[in-house]
Structures are given as structure tokens and as C-alpha cells.
Structure 1
């Protein structure tokens, strides 16, 4: 079966052919006229004025035709920018959107198979599902960043493979000052290790009636995003905090821990409140919130500048009552819509999966999570349509691959509600 070329492509091709034909005709006319002029010069030692004027006109027309053809060639070889690029992208996106919409509503997958085969997409097909259109994927990730507190403050990297590996230095090369003519002792070698962040599969299975799918007014991409955003965000938020790394991301709370004084790479440092399950008692010389100040300043200056407090709402309620020595509340409400509350002028991020205040719990974290924690997103959110398992409902097995883990163990510090 043959398909007719789009009108604009046909018109563009015709325009190119016409310009090239005009160039050829102008050149033929120029050659004939110039041959005539040369013949007159050989026979009469001079040329006819009319022939000279005609040649000048043809020469001008030839230049114009050449400029047109050169311009079209330049335009064809120029990278698509601006409006042309947007039109091309929107055309490809519209084709994918239409094919995905047809698959979700009616189960017709031929269009998606063809598109993903062209894109050399791995893992597509009935077993792995089909990629949702990029705008829908971006919308899901955008909403998850708003709902998932750790994702909002962590570093996020997109990958196209099953895992992301990152090298780091456990010990830097030795260095020191020496005199100009003194011997240079050999320095210690730098020790390089590797962090591995595999992408684990996160899934949701929203259901819909065929009546809903048949309703042309329903935006299917929007519906899928609405259905999966909250459950995805809740699941990954819990994993980013407490995940054990088995079939889920490794949470920062699952990392080994050591006191700040005994901290080594591979562990998160912590300070203790000195009281099991609470803050130190208030006295003329002790402010219960002093340990929060100590926690902030246990971070190096480079991490402290972009630090955030991470705690749940119950811990936040307890800390909200604290005041400074001047009587000002240490916790301050947001200064504008969309802005976070602050504690000691640092943003407060509320993560419900953080532990409650209890004996020996680590209920407060403080650090630069942008540098300290890495979220790894495998590109692509996939949907597999299942009209058989729960008839008369149609299930949509929706998956995305996400991983995470601590990437800088010096960037995050914890507060332990214990004696030591």
C-alpha cells in the first residue's frame, strides 16, 4: 500500500525542482547567447548591442536562479531550529499520541509497534508494554517531583540503561608544602571506588471501564497521569527514605551510621540529643534546640549553604514550639505560596516516612540532598493494556524504572534521639 506524500512536502519538492529547472533553462539560454556573441566577435570583431543586452539580462536571471537553488540547498542542510523544529517535533509527537490513544482505547497496537521499531526502542511490545507519549511522561515526573519530597530536593539523572555507575574517591592524593630545593617524598595513591545505582521497577495498575475509554472527551494521557502520580510518588518517597535496596532504591536512612566524631566514608554521621526519645530538658544553661544548631554546623560550609531539614509532621510539630534565646520561634512559616517553611532559616521538607521521635530513632536529617542523594530515572513510562483479567474493567499495567542511593555520605547528617 502506498501513501501519498504530505501536501507541504509535495509543494516543497515541486518548488525545488522548478528552481533547478529554471537554473538549467537560464544556463542554456546564456550559453546560446554567449556562443552567438563569440561568433560575432570572430567574424565581425564586434558584437551586436542587442545581443550584449540580452546576454546581460540572461546573466542576471542566471545569478538569481543560482541564488535560489543555493538558498534552498542551504536551508535543506541547516539543522532544524525554531519553528521548523517545533513543527517536526509536534508532528512526531502527534503521531505517537494518536497511536497511543488508539492502543489505550481499542487495544490496536500496530501503530505503536511501527513507531517504536523505527525508534529502536528496547523492550517494547506485548511483554514490556508501550511507551507513553513524552508529554505524558514529563507530566508524570513533574507531578511526582511536587508530591515526592526527596525527589524534589535530590539530584535526578535520566539513564537509558539498567543502572548508573559513578566513581568516587575514598582517599585523595597526599599533598604538602616543601622547600624549593627539598626532596619530594612520594605521595599516597588516590583510592577510587564505584557506586552503583540500579533502576528498579515500580508499577501501578489503574482500571477503567470501556465506557470511559470510548468517551472521546476524556484525555487518556491525563487520566493515566492522574491515576499513577500519587501512588508512584508515595512508593518512591518511602523507598528514598527507608528502602533496603532489594527490588527498590536504597534509602538514605538505610545507610550505615556513625557519630560525627567517628565518621568515615560509606556512613552517615549523626549527633545525639543526649536523651532517649526526646530533646534535652530546658534549663537556664540549656536550650533543647541547641542540638539542632549543632546539627546544622556539623555540615561543612559547602554543604550547609544548600541544606534542608527533612522530618515528618509529628517531629515538625514538636520542633515548631522551640524558641531562640531572644524569644523568636525557630520554625517560620512559608513567606509565599509555594515556598517551604524554614527552621533556623533552612527549608523544611516534610517526609511522612521519616521515623517518629522515639528512643534511638533518627527522626531528623539535615544536609545538602542535591549533592547527597541521587535519584536515577530510566527513560520511559510503559503501559500494557489488559482487558481480560478483571472484565468488564480494562487494566493498565503501568511501569517505570527508578533507582536511588546516597552519592555523598558527607553531605547528610542525622539527629539521633538517644543518649549517644
Structure 2
């Protein structure tokens, strides 16, 4: 006879899931239509019926460690056929947001980034630090005024010296990746349950997962939201391209420059000069990546605006808007600088950096964490043979 277990519901979890976009949770009466129609649901361990049951009963610890949460792409095929309008895809999306907060380190940051009321403070942090960089490090004239106010050319290095911005990037990046690593370690530990049989190694599962992410093959199996895959794919490709562009600028300019200055290596000089101008391949990659992010975010935002049946949480919205504005302000900074409109260029560049640091510094606590958590969950699901 199976051992009876006492269900100890977590009412705080239930209310939080509702607040995060899963407000239709209690509409579910466990007919299992969702599991029957979902093309992504594994035959031997189908979802989302079980996950809806666990969420409805507030079984927090069991649910947030469930890999099936991350096999759902919120395509809402299940919602199309649900006789009760329970929207299982939206409920699972809300639980995933809860998971970011649960596993994040430090935990208060996860709560802050998921709260609309904390947004002004979160934006204020990079704003103050950037203003501090300007007042402390921007070159001044003999009479004490800033050189960028009197320069005949638009020079972002006079406004916010690259060395100070690089220091913020490096220091902030190291701290954030450390915090993200702690959160990912917690999540991975939760996925690995006692008694699991592993049929595939980590590296092999990771390679298959990366191939799936690049092709969006599972995403395209969905029917109700098939078009969403295009915007999603453009956003991912654009971000990867922008990240590679940043690495190339560091590798080709800043690292050689700092090595030359710090270690007096006379033969080592930057391979490209700042600002990088068109048609340099690095500039082309950056421009194409920025446009991909703008178009991808625009398609996803327009879909949420134009479809009554499409649901999104604050975490979804703020991530899309911040990615959109990061790329838009970056592109406008370039165009306005080329047009030689000094003050407008400096203001736009400042706004761009505020958005960039928001995306970077709050990455482990935002929708950005979704990418890492889903990747780990898909790897684990392949390792235990739940998906191929």
C-alpha cells in the first residue's frame, strides 16, 4: 500500500502565483485535456495536469524542482482547448517566475526585481553610479568645466570615460555571475532527486539542448502561438550578437590598450580604434544585433497588445521593454553621434548605459534567468531520458 503523505498547502505561494500571472489557477478541475493536447508533453511523464494540481494545492517545494515546468513554452495550445479557461501555460509561466525568486541569491533581489514598486530604485542605482563616474572622472578644463561641454566633436570618452565604465562592467559582471552561479547551483541541486537514473551525460545533453535552442524546434511545434517563435528567435540571436560584439570590442581595443598602459608593452596597441565606425565588421555585427533585438521585442510586445487571449506578467513586460529600450537607445546614440548633435548624443548614451546596467546587474533575478534555468532544466530532462 502506498504511503500516505500529508499535503501542507502554501497559501503564500498560491497567492504569489496568481499575482505573477497565474490568476486562473483555481479554474482547473483536473480533466487532463491540457496534457492530452500538448505536443511537447512526454508520453511517460505528461504535463501540465500534474503541475496544475501541485500548484492548486500549494506544493511549493515539489513543484519548483519539477523539470516539466521548463518543458512548457507557454504556447497556450492547452488554453485553446481548456473547457474551464484555466490557462495552464500562464500558470506554469508564473511558477517559473516564482522559481527565479526562490533560487536567487541574495533572495531579496529576486523579490525586488519582480516588484513594480521597486523599479524606480533599481533604475536609480545605475543612474547614481554613472553620474558619479561623470563628476569624478570626466576630464575638466582649467576653469573647472567639463571638456565634453566645450568640445567641437561628440566624444563619449570625454563624457563618461571608458575606463570607469569598463570598471563598472567588470566589477559588476564578476559579482553578478558569482550570484548567478549560486542560484544556478541551488536550482541544479533541486533538479537532481535521489534515485534518478541517468541515460545521458551532461556534455551530450548540453550539446543537444543548445541545438534545440538555436533552431527553436520545440517552440515551432506549438500551434496557437507559432508566430511568437519568430520574435523570440530574433531576440535571442540579437542578444547573442550584441554580447559577441561587446566581447570583440574588449578583446580588440580595451584589453590591448590596458595591457599597453599597465605593463608598458610597447608593441601592443589596440587593433581597432574607438569609436568603431561603419563599415567595420564589428560595427556591422553590433548594428544587425541591435536591429534584431528591436524587431524581436517589437513583435512580442505588439502580440501582447493586440491579442486579448495573450497573457503576460510584469516580469515578462519589464524584460521586453528594457531589452527594447537598451537596443533603441544604443542605435540612437550611434545615429545622433554621427549627426554631431552633442548634448542629445550624451543624454541618449547615458540612458543607454542605464538600461545596459539594469539588464546586466539584475540578470540573475529577471526574465533573463529564464534562459539559464530553462537550459539547465532541458539538460537535466535529457539526462534522465524524459525528452530526446
TM-score by length of 1: 0.25
**Larger of the two Rg values belongs to structure:** 1
Higher strand share: 1
Higher helix share: 2
Structure of higher RCO (CA pairs closer than 8 Å, 6+ residues apart): 2
